[in-house]
Amino acid sequence: MSDAYLALETGDVVEARARAPGAARGELVFTTAYTGYEESLTDPSYEAQVLTFSYPLIGNYGVREERFESERVHPYAVVAREMTDDVAEWLDAEGVPAVDHVDTRDLVTDIRDGGAMKVGISAGDEASPEEAKAQLDSCPHMSDLTDIGADVSVEEPIHYEGSGARVALIDCGAKGSIVESLTARNADVHVLPYDATADDVEALDPDVLFISNGPGDPANFEAAQALVEHFTGELPIAGICLGQQVVARALGGTTEKMDFGHRGVNQPVLDHDTGRVVMTTQNHGYTVDEPGDLTVTQVNVNDDTPEGLDSAEYGILTRQYHPEANPGPHDTLDFFDEVLELAEGRTVTA
Ligand SMILES: NC(=O)CC[C@H](N)C(=O)O
């Protein structure tokens, strides 16, 4: 007898073992990362999704708070082939349903074949296929979560004092490592809520406007897009992941939902200028389609999607991947040096 069920949009119901009880729904996504489960589970960009780990054993080096990227777990549920008690107990304490003993190879194949899909989960003593299906039926599309920023952003500004360039970091669900990558380089970082206004930013007289990563559809981050529209040509601008997508939209570009996204720690990215390929950490389900007034400087080797957008004219630098790593390789940390150099130079004239 199973005590957990996953109802998929394909119509299939997959049996599983409950590791943390409860019912949940969300977009079913998978990461191919083989380490970094603490970082991924606390990455705010995973808000409202159900995260499947394709690596078959999750939890083999424990759970340590210093590796967390935020204060809580963001996926609405977690699926694994085999999960250790450490991770199961952590998710249980966080109230996040978790299941294992799932053939995650099948699940990943379903997502790759069918594209992004919703899932309903029912786990625990009272679990039933009917409850899983009811969860699936009531699951909204990611793009319909129009105010998802409110669930992941700071409510009030936070200031991390530093002697270097002043950064206005718009928190659309920022990973802790982005703040740390900036403060480690002496930046003076003001973290502002996702719906900050141009007046809020102007009051700080920053050297750079930085749009963070975040969950869901970039079209729903209208306030951040308005900031980019307002400050283009006045301030250097940087963006990571959702930040790249928001900046592109503000500069006349477009974004679209991908078939099943990029989530993992070995996504190869080619830089057109240097001809070098670097390994990158990624977690996104939307992508820039048309770059608008920006130039595509880096692309994904697997599918040619834009990974880096720049504008020399306006002083803009954005990346679709996560240069701060955590989890993943450190090949791309110099992005933060480039951004702060741009900020310190204030090369842009209005
Ligand atoms: N990591 C992110 O910022 C994710 C960006 C966006 N929510 C996407 O899924 O594409």
Q: For residue range 234-293, list pLDDT tens digits in order.
A: 999 999 999 999 999 999 999 999 999 999 999 999 999 999 999 999 999 999 999 999
In a shared domain, residues 226 and 128: no
In a shared domain, residues 12 and 90: yes
- 347 pLDDT higher than 50: no
In a shared domain, residues 199 and 320: yes
Does residue 324 sit within a domain? yes
Cα–ligand 1 centroid distance for 261 (angstroms): 9
Q: Is 207:217 a contact under the CB 8 Å cutoff?
A: no
In a shared domain, residues 155 and 134: no
Choose the final residue of a domain: 122, 140, 158: 140
In a shared domain, residues 172 and 29: no
Compute the distance between CA of residue 283 and CA of residue 303 in angstroms, rounded to an integer.
15
Specify the ligand 1 atom closest to the Cα of 240.
3
How do beta strands 295-300 and 316-319 pair? unpaired
Does residue 47 sit within a domain? yes
What is the reported pLDDT for 236? 98
Strands (E) across 246-305 are located at 255-271, 277-288, 295-300
In a shared domain, residues 162 and 20: no
In a shared domain, residues 47 and 73: yes
pLDDT band at 205 (very low <50, low <70, confident <90, very high): very high
Output the domain CATH number for residue 271: 3.40.50.880
Cα–ligand 1 centroid distance for 315 (angstroms): 23
What would the pLDDT profile of 51-73 be if each residue is shown by its tens digit?
Answer: 999 999 999 999 999 999 999 99
Establish whether 283 is an annotated binding residue: yes
Q: Is 296:273 a contact under the CB 8 Å cutoff?
A: no
What is the reported pLDDT for 349? 41
What residue type is assigned to position 164 of the chain?
G
Q: How many domains does the chain have?
A: 2
Q: Which of 39, 190, 241, 307 is catalytic?
A: 241
DSSP 113: H
In a shared domain, residues 26 and 108: yes
Cα–ligand 1 centroid distance for 41 (angstroms): 14
In a shared domain, residues 277 and 194: yes
Reported ipTM: 0.98
What residue type is assigned to position 262 of the chain?
H
Q: Is position 241 annotated as part of the catalytic site?
A: yes
In a shared domain, residues 154 and 289: yes
Ligand 1 pocket member 285 (CB < 6 A): yes
What is the reported pLDDT for 345? 84
Span 304-309, average pLDDT: 98
pLDDT band at 221 (very low <50, low <70, confident <90, very high): very high
Choose the final residue of a domain: 86, 107, 140: 140
Choose the final residue of a domain: 112, 140, 168: 140
pLDDT band at 346 (very low <50, low <70, confident <90, very high): low
Domain residue limits at 207? 149-345
Establish whether 214 is an annotated binding residue: yes
What would the pLDDT profile of 137-173 be if each residue is shown by its tens digit?
Answer: 999 999 999 999 999 999 999 999 999 999 999 999 9
Q: Is position 322 annotated as part of the catalytic site?
A: yes
Ligand 1 pocket member 212 (CB < 6 A): no
Ligand 1 pocket member 145 (CB < 6 A): no
Residue 196: CB partners within 8 Å, gap ≥ 6? 157, 168, 170, 223, 227
